[in-house]
Amino acid sequence: MQNLDDSLLIELAVGNNDQRAYTELVNRHQSALRYSMRQLTDWNEALADDLTQDALIQAFKELHRFRGQAKFSSWLYRIGYNTFLQYVRKKQLNTEPIEDQPLQDQHAEQAMSESEDSALHKKVAKLLAMLDPERRSVLHLFLHRQHTQQEISDIMGIPLGTVKTHINRGRQALQSGLQGWQEQAI
């Protein structure tokens, strides 16, 4: 199974209802999706994992609809993003204001026991949490996954113009937030 490419595994999972093939797909793609979900949920690990599991199960049910026009990982991300949106709508968990305390102070105790990298990822997630869910996802795909604007438009199913607006305004908001934190930390 480990030698087969994604398209073949999908064929096996759909045509033969082969759960081993889908297990291999889960093994391959869980890390990226779990990380993206953490970035979208302000690094709430438990919530991110729950959403990832729901997304992977939904993807299994919808696997016959995957046409291979996009990468499987992009298709999977879209399902993950939609799962996240459904959660946000249900819980009304929307944007978070920029908090007064600098990030370094808020997580001072945690930071002591965490690696520098871990703190970095949480910091990025904290920054993204200032944005509304759609803009958050666009900025994650653009700045972290380094997709083109057209690719983001295709993945998220939103117009290219909207993607451009999100990127322009989102980057400005994130830059301001970052500078605000740094000024407060001094």
Partner 1 sequence: MTQDNTNLSQDPEFAELDALFARAATTEPVLHDENFTKIVVNRLPINPSRAQRKAISFDVVGVIIGVIAAYFMFDFGQFWAVIVDLIPEYTLSIDVSQLIVMGAISLFGFTGLAGWFAMRD
x/- mask, partner 1, residues 108-127, rule CB under 8 A, reads: ---------xx-xx-xx--x
Nearer to partner 1, 18 or 99 (CB): 18
Among the residue ranges 3-11, 79-87, 97-105, 145-153, the one whose residues contact partner 1 (CB under 8 A): 145-153
CB 131 within 8 A of CB 137: no
Rounded distance between C-alpha atoms, residue 158 and residue 45, angstroms: 27
Touching partner 1, residues 9-48 (CB under 8 A): 14, 17, 19, 22-23, 26-27, 30-31, 34-35
Burial (Cβ within 10 Å: 0-12, 13-18, ≥19) of residue 139: buried
- 87: its two tokens: 């959660």
Residue 170: strand, helix, or coil: helix
SS3 content of the chain, % helix, strand, coil (to 5): 75, 0, 25
Using CA atoms, how far apart are residues 139 and 124, in angstroms rounded to an integer? 11
Residues in the chain: 186
Residue of 88, 103, 130, 174 that binds partner 1 (CB under 8 A): 174
Residue whose CB is less far from partner 1, 92 or 113: 113
In the complex, the smallest distance separating the C-beta of residue 124 from partner 1, rounded to whole angstroms, is 5
Q: Which residues bind partner 1 (CB under 8 A)?
A: 14, 17, 19, 22-23, 26-27, 30-31, 34-35, 49, 52-53, 56-57, 60-61, 63-65, 117-118, 120-121, 123-124, 127, 143-146, 148-150, 160, 164, 167, 171, 174-175, 178
